[in-house]
Structure 1
């Protein structure tokens, strides 16, 4: 009976550890603003995304300029040139980071009691502002920058997904404490504690391996989704690639930690056997 109880508690500890691990990753890299910005920062260098983004920036910059039809042929080349060179501007990295901060605020809004306000939304207003500033400087006129340029990334069902992501991110400390409690109880009820300790480590390593395979499939799953525009699709795919790489790195750490616990458990079992 004690062996069965210990096995159940050990399995529960492993499952709770995996859940806490996922929640911690989500909280660190998606739910918190700093993590979201850090995860999305490399997209400023992603060529596929930047190509699609350039088209959107040109459209929004032209709308902000509000150029009369007779002058459109004169202004359009200036806007095109500004968009093509916007990435080379010294302020571009900070403008992209500000876009990510605004996007996070729009997506994980506190207006509804801390729950996401809707779909994943990308606000590229700071980037459009860079373009309009360049255009205004070239034409020697004041071109107002828009306050918001939201690009809807998510589709149907995504608001519920975002709510679950935020809840999972916030729940990870509780899950971690529950995992620790289950592990302690498993050891207390075990007949051979060193064996139980080793098996829980093995379970954690296997959980890490499963999560690693899951992380590697994130880009594939995202690319199969339908998005509202080419820029939304490019952002989602590029961001998914960054998320997969980050989560994979985390899972390697989990596998190594689990393997270390497994080895320690085996050593303790060997020492215990040698004393008999």
Structure 2
């Protein structure tokens, strides 16, 4: 009976862990605005994203110039944009620009002038950088307070606040699954006859979750590709790098799960071996009979 209880608790722990790992990761890096901004800042270090954003910023500057009646030198503007996206301040400003996209999807906040179902980022802070001012300062090219660039094409599937339920319930779900996993793991250890074997079993759970996570990400690539098909031009490259950075972060968490699993398996094996040795030295089944047993 005790074995069945321990087995059931182990299965429940494995299921809870499989829910906790992606839930906590998503809350910290996607649902949370600061976490998403940090992810964007990390992606901004990729040269492909820097080149793509330089191209998009060049397009926006040339468009601003055309609206004011100026014919700007595209090569000069692109040189300035390339220099800007490779300076140390770009990751922070790119992260700030992505906050508007996060708020649009997770809170429903719609930038002024946006009447379409498009996911947007605000490039105005980047165009207001001193490097652009130094180049365009002699021209009457005042950058507006908000200048949004579509990440996606118009789609009825995208609307402001579509992911608001995740923003509302995500923190609670991530905390609940993490606490539940910890409680079930402790109950599994308490119900098992051998703590060493229980630790080994929990290590196997972590290994299963890590491996299943890697497989799940690979299987989900076609859905990611379908989402990326809603983007175009330089912004598609930006989106691809952002997705790749998110995948890298998720892979890192799954690797932690695999490493923890290996550590628990080894710890459990050592514990089980020490426990067996201790039982033999304290009168286990293989110990010699007592002289008084006759």
For this structure pair, what is the TM-score category when the shorter chain's length is used for normalisation? 0.7 to 0.9
2:99 counterpart residue number: 101
Q: Distance in 2 between matches of 1:161 and 1:243?
A: 20
The Cα offsets for residues 205-235 of structure 1, whole Å up to 9 and x where unpaired, read as 2211221343456666423432142234222
Q: Offset at 1:32? A: 2.6
Residue pair 2:204, 2:261 contacting (<8 A) in 1 also = yes
Residue pair 1:56, 1:231 contacting (<8 A) in 2 also = yes
Q: Offset at 1:237? A: 1.0
Residue number among 259, 267, 272 corresponding to 2:275 in the alignment = 272
Matched, 1:235 2:238: yes
Distance 1:245-1:88 versus aligned 2 partners, 3 A rule: same
2:260 counterpart residue number: 257
- What's the C-alpha RMSD, in Å, of the aligned pairs? 3.2
1:17 counterpart residue number: 17
1:83 counterpart residue number: 78
Residue pair 1:222, 1:237 contacting (<8 A) in 2 also = no
Match of 1:7, SS?
Answer: helix
Query: For structure 1, which segment, 227-236 or 257-266, has the greater mean C-alpha deviation from structure 2 after superposition?
Result: 227-236
Q: Offset at 1:170? A: 4.5
Residue pair 1:107, 1:119 contacting (<8 A) in 2 also = no
1:210 counterpart residue number: 212
Q: Distance in 2 between matches of 1:64 and 1:133?
A: 13
Residue pair 2:152, 2:230 contacting (<8 A) in 1 also = yes
Q: Offset at 1:156? A: 5.5
Q: TM-score scaled by structure 2?
A: 0.74
Aligned pairs, how many? 264
Query: For structure 1, which segment, 244-253 or 205-214, has the greater mean C-alpha deviation from structure 2 after superposition?
Result: 205-214
Q: Distance in 1 between matches of 2:22 and 2:148?
A: 32
Q: TM-score scaled by structure 1?
A: 0.78
Residue pair 2:27, 2:171 contacting (<8 A) in 1 also = yes
For structure 2, the 5+ residue unaligned runs are 111-116, 285-294
2:151 counterpart residue number: 152
Match of 2:142, SS?
Answer: coil
Q: Distance in 1 between matches of 2:184 and 2:107?
A: 35
Q: Offset at 1:253? A: 1.3
Whichever structure has more helix as a proportion of its residues is 1
1:183 counterpart residue number: 185
Residue pair 2:9, 2:187 contacting (<8 A) in 1 also = yes
For structure 1, the 5+ residue unaligned runs are 113-117
Residue pair 2:103, 2:109 contacting (<8 A) in 1 also = no
Q: Offset at 1:13? A: 0.9
The Cα offsets for residues 155-184 of structure 1, whole Å up to 9 and x where unpaired, read as 554669845654445421211111122222
Distance 1:43-1:175 versus aligned 2 partners, 3 A rule: closer
Q: Distance in 1 between matches of 2:182 and 2:147?
A: 45
Structure of higher CA gyration radius = 2
Distance 1:101-1:193 versus aligned 2 partners, 3 A rule: same
Q: Distance in 2 between matches of 1:232 and 1:102?
A: 15
The Cα offsets for residues 55-88 of structure 1, whole Å up to 9 and x where unpaired, read as 43344334434546xx45xx232x5522332231
Q: Distance in 2 between matches of 1:44 and 1:228?
A: 18
1:197 counterpart residue number: 199
Residue pair 1:219, 1:240 contacting (<8 A) in 2 also = no
Distance 1:93-1:86 versus aligned 2 partners, 3 A rule: farther
1:129 counterpart residue number: 128
Q: Distance in 2 between matches of 1:48 and 1:142?
A: 31
